Chains A and B, each alone.
Chain A
Amino acid sequence: MSNAVSALNGKVAAGDVTVAEMGLQGMISLRGSFDAEDFVATITHLVGVDFPDVRQIVSNGERSVAWMSPDELLILCPYDQAVSLTAQIAEALAEQHFLVANVSDARALFSVTGPFAAEVLAKVAPVDFSASAFAVGEVRRTRLAQVAGAVWKEQDGSLRVVCFRSVAHYTFDLLATSAKAGPVGVL
């Protein structure tokens, strides 16, 4: 859809740690009973990503599945696949009790990249981001200063942050301010 623009249209605050809004990102919220027959198999098959354990995010190529709560997943995919993938999931789970919603436009996704990326987050979230406590593959839903967000760590050590679209400016400014203030020298 040529008219579609992400919350900050790829805004970047470059520095030792760079904060960048990652543009349009497909996101699908799926609620259902993970124990239900074929649920895991259906989702694994449709999305093409292994099913995540508690508080884990699993990726395969440009798709990921994140565990958000005992009955909620967040599926990430390219923006232009979100509508069709949502429809496929709805069709595949038709016999079950579930709820699937395309929330691609309701969120903003940021990358926080650089040597003290974890400290940039540790300034705004009450979370232990030390390497031993927060590993690659863990997704943490928490409070980013005054708004809700989710954070996970990529293989390269950079962090991904998701927040609601309406507070994308706030979250960007928050992370950029935190990055600009420099390292703490702990994490």
Chain B
Amino acid sequence: MLTLHCPYCGIQADETELAAGGEAHLKRYGPGSSDDEFETYLFMRENKKGVHLERWRHAYGCGKWFLAARDTATLEVYGTYAAQTSEPPVEVKAAIRAKHPGWTWKEQA
């Protein structure tokens, strides 16, 4: 059972205080988008054995959504960060690449 650090209230929260929210950094496509774009937005998800960027809500705590970079195989957590970003902060990327040289995430370099 995981623990994750909530970047908003500073609690090292127990998994039972959190709610998982799936993949992070999705780009929303609305009316006017192509079928392919919309399909990607709605259905296409990463399913990696390795580094995953994901959404969590501190549901039983401050109620805030945050993002986490976590290894789905080893459960190592490379960092948690605010949800109001389109990519992980530099230090989180560095922590990931220290363990996974050359790591990339979708279109992000």
Mostly, the B contact residues are loop
Would A143 and B16 be within 8 Å (CB), given that A54-B9, A54-B10 are in contact? yes
Asked if B38 is an interface residue, CB under 8 A from chain A, the answer is no
Asked if B22 is an interface residue, CB under 8 A from chain A, the answer is no
Per the bound structure, the CA–CA distance linking A69 and B64 in Å amounts to: 8
Choose among B9, B17, B64 the residue that contacts A55 (Cβ–Cβ < 8 A). Answer: B9
Mostly, the A contact residues are strand
Judge whether B64 and A143 touch: CB under 8 Å. no
Interface residues on A, range: 10 to 19
Task: List residues 58-117 of chain A with CB under 8 A from any CB of chain B.
Answer: 68-70, 72
Per the bound structure, the CA–CA distance linking A12 and B88 in Å amounts to: 50
Asked if B14 is an interface residue, CB under 8 A from chain A, the answer is yes
- A68: chain B residues within 8 A (beta carbon): 62
Among A126, A140, A148, chain B packs the most CB atoms within 10 A around the CB of: A126
Asked if A160 is an interface residue, CB under 8 A from chain B, the answer is no
**Contacts from A to B (Cβ < 8 Å):** 54-55, 68-70, 72, 126, 140-143, 148
